[in-house]
Chain A
Amino acid sequence: MKSIKLKLISLFVTLVLFVMIIAGAFVRVSVGLIEETRAHEELSFLAGFYADIIHQNGLDDSRLREFRPETTLLILYSDGTLATGAHNENYSSMFNSPAIIGAIAGNNTFIPWQETQNEQGRIIIQMQYATPVYINGVHYIIYIYSNAGRAVENLEDISRIILFSIIIATSLAIFLGYLYSTTFTKPLIELTNAAKRMAEGKLKTEAKVYNNDDEIGELAGAFNNMAKSLNRLDTMRREFVANVSHEIRTPLTVIKTYAETLKEELTESEIAQSFLTTIDLEVDRITLLATDLLELSHFDNNQMTMTMEYRDLGQILSNSIKQVSVLAEQKNQKITSLIKEDMVCYVDSIRINQVFVNILSNAVKYSDENTNIKVATKVTKEKFIVTIKDEGIGISEEDLSHIFERFYRVDKARSRESGGSGLGLSIVKEILDMHSASVFVKSGKGIGTIFEISFNKENI
């Protein structure tokens, strides 16, 4: 169980238990006190009644010896010796009763809940009352006690009821606490999930607002507002990237066409040729950057449309090699290939060509002159595998894990010279991801690099 739920339930249960115990104790004590008062009043009334009898008829009145099951009466002289009484027990043990001691001292004494042992050795609880009276010139002590069994039973009943109530209340508290805490946690869980969805890039996420008035509802509202703002920002960013990379094309076209035309006009000037070539190359670089940025923003926003069809990977690969061969020839590099036939796969051929060309042109760029680039294919039970191996400068282990990151440059000076956008391999990764294909890179500094691209045959 999630801890906030547990905490809420524990808090709820603790509160209920606390209140129930306090209330239970209060009831228990109150009922005890009521029983005590009742017994006190009853016994003092009886004592008055017997005092009247003695006053009228002396000690001989039979009512003084009448046996009652609930109450026992003893009339004592002021020294504590028995005058008369109605009792069925060995009363000698009663003379050390605190009530009698109090009465001998001259006070009306009531002792509630007095534990005594009866003849069978059982503990019984009594309410005792003793009062000194002065009748017809003699000092007596009227001592009455009653069995508190019923009162004790009442109290025990009440205790049981209280205990039972506590158990019921606790169970109810757990149950209601669970329901109640769910009303807290459900919107929170929902919010958490919404935040997770958002972190995954699904910016159109909206959290459900359960209750507008409470703080969690407010939080959900604030979250949705935040999501809306993010969405707006993201749209702005997307449009910005798209607009910039689009708008920039018109001035780039002007620069490129004019530079190239000028270059063809000014054939005599070597400096003009060299400078105009530089301008031309730089325009190409900005163009590539703008194109790649636009493409990546499409991937980011799941706007990339793929035109999937059954194509022979070997055919695409041969075509890619042909495209790169011009570059390789300039550096006197040899591209050798061993390509199997019938590697028909469900792909977007233009995108896959882009993947091969990107990796191949990197191989050309990052290899010295007079080196070899080897392209091979392998067909396994489940996969078509394309390997592209160069004898180039290689990538250090440290850089290897970063090469698919955007704008990550292994060798800044060299990549600037080679004119890449720094986004090529990121695009490769995105395209392969969309084909559920994987890429694996192995490299040794100064030895060369191997790219291994695996396509699932399942795509067929």
Chain B
Amino acid sequence: MILIVEDEKSIAEIIAFNLKKEGYEYIIANDGVTGLKLALEKNPELVLLDIMMPGIDGFNVCKKIRQSSEVPIIMLTARSEEVDKVLGLEIGADDYVTKPFSPRELMARVKANLRKRQIEIIDDEDIITSLDITIDLKKYTVTKGNTQISLTSREFDLIVFLAKKKGQVFSREQLLEQVWGYEYFGDARTVDVTIRRLRTKIEEAPENPQYVLTKRGVGYYFVSE
């Protein structure tokens, strides 16, 4: 089930129409308060979240959802400004779509964000370890020492992809294609933000990372032991 949080009724309606056509179930919330309530009660598989709403706005709804859930969140933003996109990703959204969007594009994003753990299917390894980090591909868990780290599916996919080819440097564009799974034209910064979020979760000192490293001018790689 997909939760649509959108105050503009006609937009919510057309999204619902397209979701239904693609075979998804949906619920609609027309304001942030209802949206937050439904997100916590109904346990949706994915949330489509508008930013500009009366009451609580999308940013705050996203923040509150993230306190208790790693459900994929796609922000619907009328603002094309970089700052807003980055802010959305920083506070835990997985993706964003800029208005006006094409329904087909939105459906592609929905599919891509629902497509979970595709990477390990084509792989025979079950457990990847590096230093004190253990990634269990079967259980979808990441543990550091003895503590389990809670990652969103995107963050999980990203660390798995990098950790499988330790030491190999990937450009942002490659990561977008491989991990996000679709052409994400021009917005390589999504990768940067997700990397940053990942680092705050797994690194001792995110500004001086030990696991996910930056190759200046090129991209990112996972530390080879």
Contact = CB atoms under 8 A, between A and B. Distances in A.
A134 to B, nearest CB: 122
Interface residues of A, number: 32
A283 B14 CA distance: 17
A344 B216 contact: yes
B5 to A, nearest CB: 15
Contacts of A209: none
Given A257-B15, A312-B218, A353 B100 contact: no
Contacts of A323: 185-186
Contacts of B218: 312, 315
What interface size band does chain B fall in? Answer: 20 to 34
A18 interface: no
Given A312-B218, A344-B216, A353-B186, A256 B80 contact: no
A254 B8 contact: yes
B83 interface: yes
B126 interface: no
A253 interface: yes
B83 A254 contact: no
Interface stretch (B23-31, B101-109, B127-135): B101-109
Interface stretch (A160-168, A172-180, A303-311): A303-311
B100 A350 contact: no
Given A254-B14, A294-B80, A354 B186 contact: yes
Contacts of A260: 102-104
A315 B175 CA distance: 13
Contacts of A255: 100
Interface string A309-343: 01110010001000100000000000000000000
A349 interface: yes
Contact of A350 (B17, B188, B217): B188
Contact of A249 (B82, B100, B104, B173): B100
B68 interface: no
A312 B186 contact: no
Contacts, number: 77
A107 interface: no
Q: Is the interface of A mostly helix, strand, loop or mixed?
A: helix
Given A250-B99, A256-B102, A310-B216, A291 B80 contact: yes
A257 B78 contact: no
Contacts of A256: 100-102
B189 A307 contact: yes
Contact of A250 (B8, B104, B216): B8
Q: Which of A250, A252, A256 has the most CB of B within 10 A?
A: A250
B11 interface: yes
A294 B79 CA distance: 10
Interface in B61-100: 78-83, 99-100
A370 interface: no
A315 B173 contact: yes
Nearest to B17: A261
Contacts of A307: 82, 189
Contact of A310 (B10, B11, B188, B217): B217
A278 to B, nearest CB: 15
A83 to B, nearest CB: 122
Given A253-B8, A254-B11, A323-B185, 8 more contacts: A246-B78, A256-B100, A257-B18, A280-B102, A291-B80, A315-B171, A323-B186, A349-B188
Interface of B: 8, 10-11, 14-15, 17-18, 78-83, 99-104, 171, 173, 185-189, 216-218
12 contacts: A250-B11, A253-B99, A253-B101, A256-B100, A257-B15, A260-B102, A261-B14, A294-B80, A307-B82, A312-B218, A323-B186, A350-B189
